[in-house]
Amino acid sequence: MLVQELLTGQRDIAPAPSVLQLRDYQAPRAEGIAAAHQAGAPGFALVSPTGSGKTMTVLAGLNARRAQVHTILVVTKLGAVPAWRRAITSYGAGQRWVVINPERLWRLFLHRQHNLGSLPAERASALAAASGLPRVLFDAVVVDESQVLAAPDSVRSRLVYRLTHPQDGSPPPFFVPASATPFSTVQETSYAADLIAFAARVQPPADRTGTGYAQWVESLRPGSGTDDDGSVKRIRELLYRRGVGSTATQEELGLPTQRREIHWIELSTGEKEMYDGAWAQFIRTHGLRKLRELRPGRADRGSEALRNVQKASMLKVPHVARHVAGLVQSGHQVVVPAWFLDTVDALAADIARELWARHLPDHVSVITGEQPGLREARRIAFQLGQSLVCVTNAVEALNFQAGERDVDGAGTTATTAPRITVFADVLCGGKQSLQAEGRAQRDGQVAPSHYLVVRGTQEQLWLASAFWALAGTQELVHSSADATSLEELAYLLDDGAGQAASTKASL
């Protein structure tokens, strides 16, 4: 297997593949990828629920075109690189592969005026995105977790654009964006604009940002009008029904639906006043929209109001710890996503104390972006039952499902104890929550999600808005049943249709 060949100078052709056994629902999607390439389409958007085997589907689709597709670039999160390496080693079919994480994309470029390798990574990335020249032209470019391209002006989006749109007139590579949560809004579909244009038989947009792109999308709609629902339906039709993409719900694939439960936390009067006051201050300063832009571990530390929300969230920690310990006592293993490093540390400590008090194994795995070298070892410890709880601010490229095969590369199978995901705080965007839910509910395994919320506070209003965002994401990927389920939870949290309507309008 060739992994980052350009960076090491070593050439290594992948060995003859093992027999790739696809699940029944994967085969037609792999065939769709191959058919799109054969038809001359610019790419194929693979949209499928978390844990449904997108990696193997992509491999099978590109393997079927190996006579024409020789060099393949895979852009994926750092945590997913080992899984891609293992899959390529087994099923690479003699093709030449480069697997790289988005933060290192600049290494695939040269620059006329600068030696990028001598510059800090951030500066090198910016120069490569602005005027870099690709060091090699690939036959196919796969972007795993393609929602990372949702902001067209971001450095990573511009780097991928340069790789997929050669400036020297060379044929562009076949583009395969793959994700369970590719878009939350129509504006975020711009990275798939070439696919949409091919399906609509029009020229791709000259402008892929802001109003220019929005106007191009509007021009694709038959008739007149500017309602969002019409644009969503048109994008879905072009992407998923014209041979340039595929989407499916869990139900359509025969996978279990995601169960979500609201669990109320009751604070004392004093605690509740402090908690709600901090939330109210944040919303007065930034509004609900700002909360949708937050990302785990990368929140705006410069916001005093946000720091107050973080401090207030610590009031929930003992309640969350008791809830988690109760689940462990009843035979579950528990994944706890949280969004601040301080909250992660506090939760791990309190959960360990609560487990010890109940005479339960008190080792808690902690996975954060601060210690990437320990990430896999701690994941394996949880999967093998050496710890029964994992607290993490990483919500992508991690597998926590029960019964996972070959957890450690030595053929060991994960424990079969049922998993539950407990959301300790709700400072998260819509797509982030869907990704977090899919860490344990994957490959046919059921893992309910428990959202722990302080009743009667601004947090309750925020969670309602987060569920509206989740519903929008699911509607765009044609998962209407899940969108409806999320809307029902949003109405419940908003305590009435009137409040729900005002909340939705404010997003």
Per-residue pLDDT of 103-159, as tens digits, reads 999 999 999 999 999 999 999 999 999 999 999 999 999 999 998 999 999 999 999
Please give the mean pLDDT across all residues of the chain.
84
Residue % of the chain over a pLDDT of 70: 85
pLDDT 10s digits, 391-433: 998 877 788 999 998 888 788 999 999 999 999 876 555 677 8
The Cα-based distances of 272 to 124, 201, 322, 370, 452 in angstroms read 48, 57, 18, 32, 14
Phi, psi of 164 (to 5 degrees): -100, -5
pLDDT 10s digits, 68-81: 999 999 999 887 88
Average pLDDT for 474-499: 71
- Would you tell me how many other CB atoms lie within 10 Å of the CB of residue 305? 18
pLDDT surpassing 60 at residue 59: yes
Contacts (Cβ under 8 Å, ≥6 apart) of 317: 343, 346, 347, 350, 424
pLDDT 10s digits, 486-497: 888 888 887 633
Phi, psi of 468 (to 5 degrees): -60, -40
pLDDT surpassing 70 at residue 308: no
Say which DSSP state 503 is in: H
Contact 88, 14 (CB under 8 A): yes
Q: Which of 87-101, 346-360, 466-480 has the highest mean pLDDT?
A: 346-360
Contact 244, 45 (CB under 8 A): yes
What is the rounded distance in angstroms from the CA atom of residue 168 to the CA atom of residue 172? 10
Phi, psi of 246 (to 5 degrees): -150, 140
What is the rounded distance in angstroms from the CA atom of residue 193 to the CA atom of residue 197? 6
Query: What H or E segment, with its residue span, contains residue 390?
Result: strand 389-392
pLDDT surpassing 50 at residue 49: yes
Sheet holding 96-100, edge to edge: 96-100, 71-75, 140-144, 174-179, 45-47, 245-247
pLDDT surpassing 60 at residue 295: no
- Structure confidence at residue 333 as a pLDDT band (50, 70, 90): very high
The Cα-based distances of 158 to 122, 125, 130, 483 in angstroms read 14, 10, 8, 31
Q: What is the DSSP string of 160-185?
A: HHHHHS-TTSPPPPEEEEEESS--SS
User: Who wins on pLDDT, 104 or 232?
Assistant: 104
pLDDT at position 123 is 95
pLDDT at position 497 is 31
Average pLDDT for 249-260: 83
Say which DSSP state 46 is in: E
pLDDT at position 501 is 35
pLDDT 10s digits, 443-474: 788 899 999 988 877 778 778 878 887 787 77
pLDDT 10s digits, 369-390: 777 778 889 999 999 999 999 9
At 435, is the secondary structure helix, strand, or coil? helix
Residue % of the chain over a pLDDT of 90: 49
What is the rounded distance in angstroms from the CA atom of residue 68 to the CA atom of residue 62? 9
Residues in the chain: 507
Dihedral sign from CA coordinates of 347, 431, 108, 15: positive
Residue 311: both structure tokens together: 């401090």
Give the burial string for 210-233 (b: 16+ CB within 10 Å, else e).
eeebbebbeebeeeeeeeeeebbe
What is the rounded distance in angstroms from the CA atom of residue 41 to the CA atom of residue 204? 13
Contact 338, 365 (CB under 8 A): no
- Structure confidence at residue 90 as a pLDDT band (50, 70, 90): confident
Contact 125, 34 (CB under 8 A): no
User: Who wins on pLDDT, 433 or 244?
Assistant: 244
pLDDT at position 293 is 53
- Would you tell me how many other CB atoms lie within 10 Å of the CB of residue 437? 26
pLDDT surpassing 80 at residue 12: no
Instruction: Read off the amino acid at residue 356.
Output: W
User: Who wins on pLDDT, 291 or 63?
Assistant: 63
pLDDT at position 503 is 36
The Cα-based distances of 294 to 291, 297, 306, 360 in angstroms read 5, 9, 10, 35
What residues form DSSP beta bridges with 423?
451
Contact 281, 255 (CB under 8 A): no
Say which DSSP state 103 is in: G
Alpha helix locations (H) across 105-168?
121-131, 155-164
The domains located in the chain, with CATH, are: 5-247 (3.40.50.300), 260-454 (3.40.50.300)
pLDDT at position 477 is 65
pLDDT 10s digits, 158-209: 999 999 999 888 999 999 999 988 887 888 999 999 999 999 999 999 999 8
Average pLDDT for 33-41: 97
